[in-house]
Homo-oligomer: A and B are copies of this chain.
């Protein structure tokens, strides 16, 4: 059954006759279209993809399972291709802007327009083997970049920005499309900021180097974090923290099982860090879903109440951040299988020293 048909299956439960998709990652999921301006009407017996003249050729190349309508000046020119009868049109409350919602009600006056929950989220959470393959390939590029970077970073030679430039340069060179988020490269006390921006500050000697990066490949994201030590002599405190984070990360990977909630998987790692006395220094979620977006459902956090099913892909990335000193984070991407998680990240997790 096609993805669009699977949305149609939900119409009765949602109480709608037509669904209007406005969220681009969902449109890509449903039709294959990768451009930046589109709408998708799904009716019981029609589907109409709508875009503007910039995407005329690309729509015809990419869009599957929908008729294509290219408007010239105004989206609502497509009205001529929609049924002119009283139907209930559902739009996703989480994605549609108030101004467009108002305009929809005015322009599509034949429809009864209602706000509904995103019906695509549930589908997107469970990946097909094809999608898992794309994420695996995407992560393989990221792993290869990490291996390369370990060879070129030396104490005192490059700035954090240089390292980020070398990472992102290799994404396109190795066939990926682009970074899936702002690359994080942080040394010294800056590594204690979970969202550190790379600075024009030299990577020194005897300092942690935290790198968090990912790329899109065939539309699918990768995401990994490694913290390495630049120098020969990591302090005892750093080695201690590194071990705790690694133990937490591996416990979650080893003990997560299908049917556990995101909250339960989060707790597997969080308990290790709490028992070691660093609970308050792990201030973020254990992970997040990954797919056509680098952050998507399911939730892998204290708010994650849905059971994690086979086929769901997510990150496991505990961290401990000691403000003013250093931070350590270790992150893999995994896919839930029938018997536990399979890692999609290949890079080593032992403490690497570069000197």
Q: Which of A91, A93, A200 has the most CB of B within 10 A?
A: A93
Do residues A94 and B93 form an inter-chain contact, with CB atoms below 8 A? no
- A107 to chain B: closest CB distance in Å? 15
Chain B residues in 8 Å Cβ range of A323: 57
Q: In the assembly, what is the distance between CA of A197 and CA of B256, in Å?
A: 40
Query: Beta-carbon contacts of A37-53 to B below 8 Å, as 1s and 0s?
Result: 00000000000000001
Do residues B35 and A195 form an inter-chain contact, with CB atoms below 8 A? yes
Query: Beta-carbon contacts of A286-305 to B below 8 Å, as 1s and 0s?
Result: 00000000000000000100
- Quick check: is A193 within 8 A (CB to CB) of the other chain? yes
Do residues A168 and B172 form an inter-chain contact, with CB atoms below 8 A? yes
Selected interface stretch from A11-19, A132-140, A159-167:
A159-167
Q: In the assembly, what is the distance between CA of A200 and CA of B218, in Å?
A: 13
Option from B164, B175, B197 in Cβ contact (under 8 Å) with A161:
B175
Q: In the assembly, what is the distance between CA of A153 and CA of B169, in Å?
A: 16
Do residues B175 and A200 form an inter-chain contact, with CB atoms below 8 A? yes
Do residues A54 and B194 form an inter-chain contact, with CB atoms below 8 A? yes
A117 closest partner in B (C-beta): B99
- A32 to chain B: closest CB distance in Å? 14
- Quick check: is A97 within 8 A (CB to CB) of the other chain? yes
- A228 to chain B: closest CB distance in Å? 20
Q: In the assembly, what is the distance between CA of A195 and CA of B101, in Å?
A: 28
- Quick check: is A173 within 8 A (CB to CB) of the other chain? yes
Q: A57-B193, A172-B161 are in contact. Are A115 and B99 (CB under 8 A)?
A: yes
Do residues B97 and A102 form an inter-chain contact, with CB atoms below 8 A? no
